[in-house]
Amino acid sequence: MANVTNYISEAFTELKTNVTWPEWAEIQRLTIIVAVFSVLFALVTFGIDKGFEVLVANVYKFLKN
């Protein structure tokens, strides 16, 4: 158990001293970029899904007749 406690303590120390954290403005800018691309990707995925839905429905309708 001492090894786990020591590992966690060293990890927090390293995060405080050795990691270079970005500025708050950069974090906000990158978060907005990720959010915008996530929404765009979701819309593209939705569009492709709806397109295939229509395509498959039309193929089944054609085969049924």
pLDDT in tens, 6-18: 999 999 999 999 9
Q: Kindly list the distances between the CA atom of residue 28 and the CA atoms of 32, 36, 51, 54, 60, in Å, as whole numbers in the listed order.
A: 6, 12, 35, 39, 48
Query: In whole angstroms, what is the distance from residue 40 CA to residue 34 CA?
Result: 10
pLDDT of residue 31: 98
Does the reported pTM lie above 0.85? no
CA count, 13 A, side-chain hemisphere, 57: 6
